[in-house]
Structures are given as structure tokens and as C-alpha cells.
Chain A
Amino acid sequence: MKKDIDLLKKRNRKRRDLMERAGSTGLALSGFIGLMFLSVLVWQIAVPTFIEGETGQIEPASEFIPVSEYVLKWDHPTVDDDGALIGDPVVLELTWDDGGTERTHSIAVTVTSERNLREDIVINASGVSTEAVEVGKKTKFYIQSSLEVPVDIHQASGPVPAADETGSPTVSSFVISADVSVVVDDGRFVSHPLTMVAWLMLVFVVALLSFPMPAVLSAMEALLNRQAAVRYTLYGLAAGTLALAGFTLEAWLGAGCWTMSAVGINRTLQGMERLKSQGRDVTQFDRLKHSITNREGVLMWSRMLLVFSTLFIPLLIDVPFLTERYQDIFQPYASGIRSAFFGTIWVMGIAMVVSMPVSIGAAIYLEEYAAPTKTTKLIQALVTNLAGVPSIVFGMFGLAIFVKQGGIGLGLGPSILAAGLTMGVMAMPIIVLASQEALRSVPTSLRESAYGVGCTQWQVTRDHVLPSAMPGIMTGSILAMSRIMGEAAPLVVVGAAALVLFDPEPLAGLLGGNKGFTVIPIQIYFWTSEPEHAWHSMAAAASITLILLLAAMNSVAIVLRQHFRKRLNS
């Protein structure tokens, strides 16, 4: 054995030692260069926005305020405490077409240092309700129109809405500073009372499921015979919340809270009933807790919903950059990504609705049902290869099939619907592969024991395999969605617009209306392509927002994965 270490000379041994050390150090270094890139990337994006606190010049007057039904808010007063004017007066010009003649009204806006002073402007056929309004700083007021025709609003002079007294806000103030109102703001509740009650109810249910308290359980014993009544009352309250609070985000979350509470209470009551039929004390519910709530993830879903609804029901987060400002073509620093943010949400929603059922069905077929025939092999090969097709090719597929008219084109135009469908098609192979992986990891013994007690194939799949694989499938789907969220190339091809000054209309492709839409990555792309440096700061701000949103989504996936692992171990 020539290589035997004992036969080596001392010099050679030293050389080998040195090689060993140099080699391992080099390998470690190669790994850390990757990490270094990440830190440089984050640093380079963060520096121009947050750390240097770059400021931009905002030019007064000739403002372009985009839509007719408009919410305005000034961050700083235009008059001092004695009523003397600071800088230019704020004058809004309202113009609309009144049966062939053009009507113009100008309205003077005085912003005082007092907060919560609000005065809305109402426009109807007879004209404008007032010539001058007085509002407090940082207070929203509305211009409401009951006319059939759109009203154009131009600002003739004065500082732009939501700017500071020098007219030059810092970029960081757009991204970081968020008004968080807790429960009560401006002398009233931040959310509809019913949604608040719903949130409290969910808190109660989560607490009950996490720590079943004997006192509460024995109090609930009275409800045992009225399960259906309790359930339908809670569902009714969900519907009522939606109707009364007006289908807003809070209303939807409130309805979700009611529904989740109904499910949670129902499970508790069922468990208590089972205990009772076994002749045990109903207050021993914690014995049944795991089998009743953990198997279907009721507790986990309740907790996740609780986290989300806490952000929007008792706390009201208000990030102007994200949810209030549209793009402002003249003033980079006053721009926001409202239309892009809602566009992203809609595109992802449609993509999810389209792709998830189909891809999970395909995965179930391929893993559970399909015999290894040629067709199955073909489908499997196609899925694997589709996952590697460049995203821009999916964009061209969407352009020809969904956007354009003629041939086999559906002619939806460059709309949210076409974009969502394209993204759904793109997500499909990714979700199929992830779901297959999850289904494959379900032990065969589970299937065999279910067959052993006489289940049909569909019963085995539905009741045993799917519940076990669900967390894996959900994790894969969320990761696919987060990939979709950051993808811009297909939407450039589908025809996302560079400048969208209204909220996207999801069904405009079918029903007609404003088809234009944009998403956050597209906004970053167009802002980066602008020559002016100010836009690059805005692109950095949008990039950080996007990375944070993606991190939030991925952490949901991680929560799911952890939950799954814990259950496997227990």
C-alpha cells in the first residue's frame, strides 16, 4: 500500500496536513462568498432608502391627482396656530361635464394643526357642497360624488397631499412609518364592532382549544343539545358581519373569525359529547384535544387566522406607501405601490384558484391512481420538463392564448384575469411536483391498513392519505405562490402596464372596464428602467417591501412544515 500514511515521509505528511487545512478553508470560503453576496445585496438595497435617508424635491402646483372619488390627507398644516398661511394655499379644482357644458369649482383647503377635524366635500347635480373646507393634519377626508360622470380633480397650488412642511418627504417615511391605531382612533373604533366581537370570540376559542379550562367547559355543557343552533348562529353572525361592515378586508376577516370559531366550538362540543357517551366527565376535554383539533389542524388554522386578524381588526395598520399612494409621475418620492400591491394580490388569488385544484388532482392521480402506463410516464415527464421551462415562455403562451383574440386566443386583453391564468399555468408543474413529493412521503402502511378495513380507493385517498399529505401540499403551494409573486417576466409579456393610477378590476377582461394592471415586480422593473435616480430609490423601497412580503409568505410555509414535523414526531 503505497498510500499508507505510515510509509510517508515526515515532509509529505506535513504537506498533506497543509493541503487538508487549505482545502477545507477554501471550501468553507466558497460557501461564505454566497452569503456575502446576500449581505451585499441587502445592504445595497437598504442604503439608498433607509440609512442615507435620501430626500427628494417636490414641486408644488400642477399636481396630477388621478381619480374622481378621492381620499385626501395632508400630513402637516398649511396654516400656523394664528391662522396665517404657511406657503401656498391649497386649492383644488373640480371639473366635470354637465350635459355638454363644463363646470368648474375651486375649493380652498385649510389644514390646521388640530387632528381629527374632518369635513367631506359632496358633489351633486346642483354643484359642490362647499367652497372651502377646514381639516386637521393627518386626517383623511373624502370627496364624494353622486354624479353619473367622472369628476376630474386637479390641485392648482400648495403642497401635495401627505407631504411634510418643507414639501420634501424622506423616502424612509413612505416605507417604514406606519400609523398603527390600536382599538380606538379619532374617538371611535377602528373596526366595525361586530368584527371586534368576532376577533374576541376567536381569541376565546383559541384559548379554549389550547388550554381547556374545566370551569368554561362545564359552563358549555348547557350547549351540548343545541349544537346545530350554536353553529348556525355563528354562521349567521359571519354573514351579518360581512353585510353590515360592507365587504371590507376587516369584514372578511371578521367573518373568517366567526366561521373558525364555529368550527372550533363545534369540535369542542363533539369531543364533550363523546366523553359523555363514554360516561366520563366532560371537563376532561384535554384528553381528547389532540385527536379532535390537531388532526385536522383546526388549532393551527385558528392561530394563523388570529395572527392575521389581529393585524387588521384591533390594530389598524396604515402603510401609505403600500396601500394608499398611487404612482405619481411627476414626483417619485410621493409615489406608492397601491395599484401594484392590489394587482399582486388579485393575480396571485386567481392563479391559486386556477392552479391548486387542478395540480393537486393531477398529483393525486399520478401518485395514487395511475398505473405505470405510457400515458402516465408521458405526463410525468411533461410535468418535470414544464417545471424547467423559462418563465417568459409561459408569458408568451399567455399572450397568445389568453390575451390575444383570434386563433385559439380567448381575447381577455392585458388584464388581471389573463395574468392570473398565465401565472396559474406557470405554478402548476411546481405545485404538482411538490404535492407528489408530499403524497409519496405518506407511509404505505397507512394506505394498506385503510384498505384492510375495507375502504375504497377514493376513501383511502380522501380520508387517510390527503389529510396526512396536506401540510406538505400546502407548504409546496405556498412556496410556488411566493415564486409567482416575485415573477415579472411573464407579466411583461402579458402586458402589465408601467403606470396604473387606479385599483385593478379583476374581471375587467371579461366584463369590460379598465383592464390596466401592474404588480410589484413589474413596478420595480419599470422604476429601475427610469433614468432619474429618485425612481431607483423608489425601486429599492418596493424591492424591500416585496422581499418582506415574500419572507412573510415563506414563514407561513415554515410554520406549516414545523406543525407537520411535530405531528409526525408525536
Chain B
Amino acid sequence: MSMLERISKERTRYILFFTSTSVILITLGIIQTLLFEAIAFFSEVANTRGWFSFTVNLSGVASAAGLGALMLIGCAALEWRMRVDPKVLIRMPEKAMFPPKSAMYGIVVIALLAWVLIDSFVLRLVLLVVLFMWRRAANVFVLLPNNNADKSDRTVLYALIGGAVTVLFFSATKDYGGAFGEFFFTTQWTPTGACADRRALCENMSFGVNSLLLTTIQVAFGALFLAVPLGVGCAIYLSEYASPRLVSVVKPTLELLAGIPSVVYGFFAFIYIGPLVVQFGEYAFAQGWIDAPPNVLNPINGAIVVGVMILPLVASMSEDALRAVPNELREGSLALGATRIETTFRVMIQASLSGILASIILALSRAVGETMAVTLAVGTVAVYTSNMFLPAQTMTAYIAQRVGGDLPFGEIGYMTIFAVGLYLFVITLCLNLLGNKVLSAYREAY
């Protein structure tokens, strides 16, 4: 049967197939659009400033960052050994893996002290990684008799090696320049510059996207800080405690909260939350905790409003995860004499952890991509500062604000929004892929 005959015989099938390929077309279109203009941007900058340049600074390796890299390499070696031959752990004393309770408290106190005392941000992160690896080794240690640890998953190993290489590179170099160096590693974002002609690239323009990225991270994690305790708490209450009647009231309300447009949230932040945050900021300024008087538009304002926006998402997804846990687990725990709160925190949350984690990751992705509320709440001044009471600009807000002023095709400003957009797209795509992977893992489990 020729291809043509097959198509004419099953034309419905092929028509439907072509409708579904439009999804591929759209994805390709998005990637093509962003990539095309972003490449144009980088090559435009590279024409005058080169692609990537840095100066080597070997003395940096001897600093805290170098130590961090060394520790990461050690962790990677341990991970590799554990994958190749888990029996290497047998030699370890059990006390080292599962210390008594008093020693555990001691370790927690030491870790907290170290977190406060250590000056370098990198070392703090490495400290967390070391603790994580210790618990991971303990996990493998317990599983040894069964020897069913999954040997094929090398994500952690690659992440550790990648982290070590990155830390080593950044400790040994400084003064980044060129198109990529400037965009990804510097913090000055002045894409209009003080130039006579704003259309073409000029000397005063600077494209350090970290200024936008920092605000995005501040807003997104601030939002999580608000939404995760409230949302997960709400989900636990709804699935474990609330009467069906209460659930039938609260769930639609959460849906309603999720259905309110983001621009209305932005308006709400602008007229209500902003002034409240300023009141607090003025107190902080009077006490000398911050070095500049607060502004109505600030990342805290944005974090609060985005937190409210993603709260329904976290709550409903976490509730789904908790409801998916088989009832036997709950009943078994209660039958053993645990109270409901113990059952909730020691059984239910453990069992649905990956589902809750997925909801948090997807909520983070939503918070990073949120635009209108953030544009209205955070402001339009791109500054790199840790003072969260000053107006700043997120990546999405930059795109929305810049494009609002009617950008002609092909000028440098038009290209920058696509470079920023591509970065944003990649970040949210990674978060979504991770979130969906975690989500499918827990769907398989139950």
C-alpha cells in the first residue's frame, strides 16, 4: 500500500496527527524566535566587545571558594565510589552514619554556627551539600543488605562535578567581559545607557543581567517563603482534618483566588500592600537596619503578592499529593497509637513528599514567570542591591516595561528583551522539567 493510499484511507488519523504537531511547531517557533534575536544581540555586542574574556586570578583558588571546590570534588568522589561499589560503606562505623540523638543536636548546632560564621556564600552552600551527601550515604548504608540502590541515576554525580568545576572556574578568574561574560557574570544593567542614539550599541550601555536575576530570585523565593508554609499547611488541614462541608467551601474559594487575574493582584499590591511594607520599612530605617528610606515599589511587596498568587497552586497540588497516599498508611499509623498530628507529620508528609516538592517547584516556576503583578509592585529601576525595600526590576518586568515603549524591529533594545526572555524561558523550562519529573515519580509510586 502506497503512502498516499494509506493517508486517504486513514485521513482522520492524519488530520488529527497534524493538529497535534502544531504543538511541536509552536515550541519550535518560541525557541526559534528567542534564539534568533538573542544570537543577534550577542553577536551585536561581540562585534565591539568580543565574545568572552576574563583575567586569570590564581590566588583566588587559595581562598574560601577554592576550599569549597575541593570539598565538592571530595563529595563527587564519595558519590562515585558509592555508585561503583556501595560495599565501601560497610567499613564505616554505624555511629558515624546514625549518631546518637545528643550528637545529632550537636551537629545541627555546629552547622548553624558555621552557617552564621562563615563569610563566603559559596562555602555556606558547600556546607549544605556536605550535610546532604552525609545523609545520602546513610541512606545507601541502610539499603546495603538489600543492595537495591539505583546505580544508573547519575544526576547527583554530574551535578557535583559541574558545581566543583564552576566554583573552581569562578575562584580562579575575575573581570568578566565580552558578550557572554558581561551578560551572565556582571551586575550593571543599563541597556539604554546615557547615549545620544539609544537605538545602536554604545559604550555606556551595560548588560549585566544579574541585576534583574537577583530581583527575580528575591521575589520568587520571598513568595515561596510565604506560600509554602501557608499552602502546605492549608493542604494538610483540608486533606486530614477538615470536614467535607468545610472542604466544599474552602476549595472553590481557593479556585476563585487562583482565577483572579494577575493585573488585579498587581493593583492590590500597588494600593494596599506597598504602603504597608513602607510603614515597616520606615521603622527598619529608623532603627538603622537598612541604609536607605523605603519606597512603595519594592521586591518585598512583589514577594507578598506573588506569594498570595501561588498559594492556591501549592495548596491544591499538595492536597492532591496527600490524597493520593493510600489510606492504609494513615490507618496503620493511627492503629499503632500515633496521634493525628504525628501521623500527619511523620507518615503522610513523608509519603507524599515528592508530590509536595513538585508543587513547590512548579509554583517557583510560576513565580519566576509572573509579570503584571510584579511590574506593578516591584518597580522599574534595575539595581543590584540586597536592600529589598528599594524599587528594583525583575526579568519579566523589564520585558513588559521596555516593550511598552514601542520598540522598532532590529534595534538593540528590541534584541535585549529576547536575550532576557531566552534566559527566563530556560530557567522556567528547567524548573518545569524538574517539577514534572518529580511529579511523575510520585504518580508512579502510588
Task: Find the B residue at minimum CB distance from A21.
Answer: B341
Which of B264, B336, B396 sits near A543, CB closer than 8 Å?
A: B264
In the complex the two chains form, is A41's CB within 8 Å of B260's CB? yes
B241 contacts the other chain (CB 8 A): yes
A493 contacts the other chain (CB 8 A): yes
**Bound-complex Cα distance A280 to B268 (A):** 65
A-side contacts of B237, CB under 8 Å: 24, 27-28, 30-31
B-side contacts of A33, CB under 8 Å: 230
Interface residues of B in 243-292 (CB under 8 A from A): 250, 253-254, 256-257, 259-268, 270-272
Least Cβ distance of B246 to chain A in Å? Answer: 9
Which of A20, A396, A486 sits near B263, CB closer than 8 Å?
A: A486
**Bound-complex Cα distance A429 to B23 (A):** 8
Least Cβ distance of B71 to chain A in Å? Answer: 34
A513 contacts the other chain (CB 8 A): no
In the complex the two chains form, is B429's CB within 8 Å of A389's CB? yes
In the complex the two chains form, is B20's CB within 8 Å of A361's CB? yes
Given the known A-B contacts A388-B362, A396-B418, A400-B33, are A495 and B24 also in contact in the complex, defined by CB atoms under 8 Å? no
Residue among A34, A529, A546 with the most chain B CB within 10 A? A34
Task: Find the B residue at minimum CB distance from A528.
Answer: B267
**Bound-complex Cα distance A483 to B254 (A):** 15
Least Cβ distance of A465 to chain B in Å? Answer: 13
Given the known A-B contacts A396-B417, A404-B409, A458-B12, are A536 and B271 also in contact in the complex, defined by CB atoms under 8 Å? yes
Q: Count the B residues whose beta carbon is within 8 Å of the partner chain — how many?
A: 91
In the complex the two chains form, is A396's CB within 8 Å of B421's CB? yes
A-side contacts of B36, CB under 8 Å: 400, 407
Given the known A-B contacts A385-B432, A390-B368, are A40 and B272 also in contact in the complex, defined by CB atoms under 8 Å? yes
In the complex the two chains form, is B267's CB within 8 Å of A540's CB? yes
Which of B19, B241, B261, B435 sits near A521, CB closer than 8 Å?
A: B261
In the complex the two chains form, is B250's CB within 8 Å of A44's CB? no
Least Cβ distance of A21 to chain B in Å? Answer: 9
A240 contacts the other chain (CB 8 A): no
Interface residues of A in 361-384 (CB under 8 A from B): 361-362, 364-366, 369-370, 378-379, 381-384
A-side contacts of B368, CB under 8 Å: 390
**Bound-complex Cα distance A383 to B19 (A):** 13
Least Cβ distance of A200 to chain B in Å? Answer: 36
B392 contacts the other chain (CB 8 A): no
A-side contacts of B381, CB under 8 Å: none
Task: Find the A residue at minimum CB distance from B264.
Answer: A543
B26 contacts the other chain (CB 8 A): yes
Which of B34, B254, B362, B435 sits near A34, CB closer than 8 Å?
A: B254
In the complex the two chains form, is B337's CB within 8 Å of A392's CB? no
A183 contacts the other chain (CB 8 A): no
In the complex the two chains form, is B20's CB within 8 Å of A393's CB? no
A-side contacts of B17, CB under 8 Å: 365, 369-370
Interface residues of B in 222-256 (CB under 8 A from A): 229-234, 236-238, 240-242, 250, 253-254, 256
A-side contacts of B396, CB under 8 Å: 390, 392, 489
A54 contacts the other chain (CB 8 A): no
Task: Find the B residue at minimum CB distance from A401.
Answer: B29
B311 contacts the other chain (CB 8 A): yes
**Bound-complex Cα distance A88 to B263 (A):** 40
B428 contacts the other chain (CB 8 A): yes
Interface residues of A in 1-38 (CB under 8 A from B): 1, 3-5, 16, 19-20, 23-24, 26-31, 33-35, 37-38
In the complex the two chains form, is A386's CB within 8 Å of B365's CB? no
A-side contacts of B261, CB under 8 Å: 485-488, 521, 546-547, 550
Given the known A-B contacts A24-B241, A390-B396, A528-B376, are A362 and B436 also in contact in the complex, defined by CB atoms under 8 Å? no
Task: Find the A residue at minimum CB distance from B260.
Answer: A547
Residue among A361, A383, A393, A536 with the most chain B CB within 10 A? A393
A391 contacts the other chain (CB 8 A): yes
Residue among B21, B22, B315 with the most chain A CB within 10 A? B22
In the complex the two chains form, is A31's CB within 8 Å of B238's CB? yes
In the complex the two chains form, is B409's CB within 8 Å of A525's CB? no
Interface residues of A in 344-363 (CB under 8 A from B): 357-359, 361-362
Q: Count the A residues whose beta carbon is within 8 Å of the partner chain — how many?
A: 92
Which of B13, B26, B421 sits near A386, CB closer than 8 Å?
A: B26
In the complex the two chains form, is A38's CB within 8 Å of B256's CB? yes
**Bound-complex Cα distance A16 to B368 (A):** 40
B-side contacts of A357, CB under 8 Å: 19
A-side contacts of B195, CB under 8 Å: none
In the complex the two chains form, is A390's CB within 8 Å of B369's CB? yes
Interface residues of B in 341-385 (CB under 8 A from A): 341, 344-345, 362, 365-366, 368-372, 375-376
**Bound-complex Cα distance A365 to B37 (A):** 34
Which of B250, B264, B403 sits near A547, CB closer than 8 Å?
A: B264
Which of A378, A384, A493, A546 sits near B400, CB closer than 8 Å?
A: A493
Interface residues of B in 422-444 (CB under 8 A from A): 424-425, 428-429, 431-433, 435-436
A500 contacts the other chain (CB 8 A): no
B27 contacts the other chain (CB 8 A): yes
**Bound-complex Cα distance A381 to B409 (A):** 33
A449 contacts the other chain (CB 8 A): no
In the complex the two chains form, is B432's CB within 8 Å of A388's CB? yes
Which of A1, A396, A428, A543 sits near B26, CB closer than 8 Å?
A: A428
In the complex the two chains form, is A529's CB within 8 Å of B19's CB? no
In the complex the two chains form, is B337's CB within 8 Å of A495's CB? no
Least Cβ distance of B379 to chain A in Å? Answer: 11
B302 contacts the other chain (CB 8 A): no
**Bound-complex Cα distance A35 to B337 (A):** 34
Least Cβ distance of A54 to chain B in Å? Answer: 13
In the complex the two chains form, is B271's CB within 8 Å of A44's CB? yes
**Bound-complex Cα distance A485 to B240 (A):** 35
A473 contacts the other chain (CB 8 A): no
**Bound-complex Cα distance A359 to B22 (A):** 9
A554 contacts the other chain (CB 8 A): yes
A-side contacts of B406, CB under 8 Å: 495
In the complex the two chains form, is A393's CB within 8 Å of B15's CB? no
A-side contacts of B241, CB under 8 Å: 24, 27-28
Which of B22, B37, B266, B371 sits near A391, CB closer than 8 Å?
A: B371
A-side contacts of B250, CB under 8 Å: 31, 35
In the complex the two chains form, is A539's CB within 8 Å of B267's CB? yes
In the complex the two chains form, is A396's CB within 8 Å of B33's CB? yes
Given the known A-B contacts A364-B16, A369-B17, are A546 and B428 also in contact in the complex, defined by CB atoms under 8 Å? no
Report, nearest first, the 5 A-B pairs whose CB atoms are least far apart: A390-B369, A486-B261, A30-B233, A361-B19, A31-B234
Show 26 A/B contacts (Cβ-Cβ < 8 Å), sorted by A. A24-B237, A24-B340, A27-B234, A28-B237, A37-B311, A40-B272, A358-B19, A370-B20, A379-B20, A381-B436, A384-B436, A385-B27, A386-B27, A389-B429, A393-B30, A396-B399, A396-B418, A400-B36, A425-B26, A483-B259, A485-B261, A486-B260, A487-B261, A492-B400, A492-B404, A528-B266
What 13 new A-B contacts, CB under 8 Å, besides A388-B431, A525-B266, A540-B267? A1-B336, A24-B237, A31-B233, A31-B237, A34-B308, A359-B19, A361-B19, A362-B20, A365-B13, A378-B24, A390-B428, A493-B403, A525-B372
Chain B positions within 8 Å of A, measured between CB atoms, are 12-13, 15-17, 19-24, 26-27, 29-30, 32-34, 36-37, 229-234, 236-238, 240-242, 250, 253-254, 256-257, 259-268, 270-272, 308, 311-312, 315, 336-341, 344-345, 362, 365-366, 368-372, 375-376, 396, 399-400, 403-404, 406, 409, 417-418, 421, 424-425, 428-429, 431-433, 435-436
